[in-house]
Structure 1
């Protein structure tokens, strides 16, 4: 996990002005191991910064994602963000739908994808969703219910 100072350092090194709100955002993501929806972030920030608009929160999330501080993933219930993992090489993730824990996929499936000659890939994402061993053990089996 990255510290607030490490996150702030990345933002400032990329030319982003570090405001109190952005420092608070950095603290929120440094303390949160899983994914947060923009609404989660807005609700949290609204407790400290009255009058803060949802658009401002969302714009900051997008800027932080563009700088590589945050990762964005599209879940069935919408877009969520989490602190960018420390992996330096290109990789993808398996994501637990219950706790949000991620596990790296150590190879890139694009290498095995046949891309038509008239198509140029400029970027890609690949996520696998399921349940980690801890969360799947917490679920009572449907057979055991009467």
Structure 2
């Protein structure tokens, strides 16, 4: 999903277009990793003096509710990432660097194993993430 598609989704879900929302989405697209609300706030406050942290956080939460962003918790803090397009790479999961938030797609799903272990149950959804240090962060040490 690209910016234009995200803006259309935002509009169809009843959210008004603003340059600030567009800038937030563009930033998250370019970052291409899990990013904290503070990082988004720091970026936005450069161009939009007076923008509040609450506004940033509320928009991030709203964007995640309409499936534009993925959310995870890393080191006790919520992190946000522009949603992967499943259309292009199919169902997948992520390796997430605990140091910098970089992600890498894992193109297999362990759910077949769990389905065997849970016979008689109906699985409604799942999320699978692997946490560790990426090559760049390991090479810094």
Q: CA deviation at 1:81?
A: 0.7
Q: CA deviation at 1:22?
A: 0.8
Higher helix share: 2
Q: How many matched pairs?
A: 137
> Which residue pairs with 1:132 in the alignment?
134
> Which residue pairs with 2:75 in the alignment?
76
Q: CA deviation at 1:57?
A: 1.5
What are the equivalent positions in structure 2 for 1:1-146 lying under 5 Å apart?
A: 3-88=2-87, 89-113=90-114, 114-115=117-118, 121-136=123-138, 138-140=139-141
What's the RMSD between the two structures over aligned residues? 2.5
Measure, in 1, the Cα distance between the counterparts of 2:134 and 2:21: 32
Normalising by structure 1, we get a TM-score of 0.75
Measure, in 2, the Cα distance between the counterparts of 1:107 and 1:31: 25
Q: CA deviation at 1:94?
A: 1.0
Match of 1:124, SS state, is coil
Structure 2 unaligned segments of length 5 or more: list them: none
Measure, in 2, the Cα distance between the counterparts of 1:45 and 1:134: 26
Measure, in 2, the Cα distance between the counterparts of 1:115 and 1:63: 34
Measure, in 2, the Cα distance between the counterparts of 1:50 and 1:95: 32
**Structure 1 pair 139–43 and aligned structure 2 pair: CA distance change class (3 A):** closer
Normalising by structure 2, we get a TM-score of 0.77
Contact 2:93–2:105 (CA<8 Å) still a contact in 1?
yes
Measure, in 2, the Cα distance between the counterparts of 1:133 and 1:44: 25
Higher gyration radius (CA): 1
Measure, in 1, the Cα distance between the counterparts of 2:54 and 2:11: 22
